[in-house]
A and B are shown apart, each in its own frame.
Chain A
């Protein structure tokens, strides 16, 4: 006998993400989900973004890592509230973890929460967190072929940050090929050339983010 189940396996996460979205809209807080591989410069980029926007916005950070507290500590050193989530082996953040992290943040006194997802170009794509926007950071040393190897993340990203362009002279990174393969997947995401270390290009990226924070307040 056949029993109809018709169960969406991601439904639980999607429902929790929708709850997060409502909560953020209610508090007029914008959440940014930052995706990248380990070592792409997520934390450095987040710190550079904070430096560019902290005069205008009240910012907090949620740090997702399999283990350790080093990233949250780094952020706190800059006087920014930070919550560390240790996934204990899980390869991505899920909406319920974000909901609990929100409990630990003063949402009433915030405009922007930056979520640093677990360093991984595959799994986080599948799990909506309730964020207002998702971005991907790729660094020059990783190579221009990454959109060909990890298409999903480049397809869903609303902005692509090409980080470590100050190191371009040391690597054979073909920017035209990179842009072309991103465009096959994603017709709308702007690609920002930047270096979180030197500050090059950070202002342009930060302006884009500021526009997003201002635009759809409480949809």
Chain B
């Protein structure tokens, strides 16, 4: 529901990092989005298309890697992947678990063109 605001933050981070590297063009932006967040990849894509025209990231492809929910069972110590709807331990069925993954929202890296970087044709 707040994908537009989140995408604005992503865009700002991407533009800042690219400018720092002296990039002339941003080709791709790679995000990791946990499946336990309330962020829908399709909505992020839509927000990206709405927000990037007229910015240095215009035309850049947004690549999203989804990470599953992952929890630690406080009873038996098992770490297990799970969906949004059932966080009970898959090994012992214990209900006391702690989330250890799937809530992240990270800009991992960007693929950019940099003048005279000596590595033409990398992408």
Contact = CB atoms under 8 A, between A and B. Distances in A.
B96 A9 contact: no
Contacts of A8: 104-106
Given A126-B2, A187-B94, A9 B106 contact: yes
Contacts of A151: 84-85
A92 B2 contact: yes
Interface in B1-59: 1-2, 5-6, 9-10, 13-14, 17-18, 21, 23, 36-39
Interface stretch (A17-25, A134-142, A178-186, A209-217): A178-186
A5 B13 contact: yes
- Range class of the B interface residue count: 35 or more
A55 interface: no
Interface residues of A, number: 30
A67 interface: no
Contacts of A152: 36-38, 84
Interface in B65-123: 84-88, 94-97, 99, 104-114, 117, 119, 122-123
A176 interface: no
Contacts of B1: 91, 120, 122-123
A151 B86 CA distance: 9
A187 B113 contact: no
Contacts of B114: 1
A102 B122 CA distance: 51
Contacts of A77: none
Contacts of B5: 90
Interface in A81-134: 90-92, 120, 122-123, 125-126
A1 B84 contact: no
B89 to A, nearest CB: 9
A187 B96 contact: yes
A219 interface: no
A148 B95 contact: no
Contacts of B39: 126
Contact of B111 (A2, A6, A7): A2
A3 B110 contact: yes
Given A12-B9, A155-B36, 16 more contacts: A1-B21, A1-B112, A1-B117, A1-B123, A3-B110, A6-B106, A6-B107, A6-B108, A8-B105, A9-B6, A9-B105, A91-B2, A92-B2, A125-B38, A152-B36, A184-B87
A123 B2 CA distance: 7
B73 to A, nearest CB: 10
A3 B95 contact: no
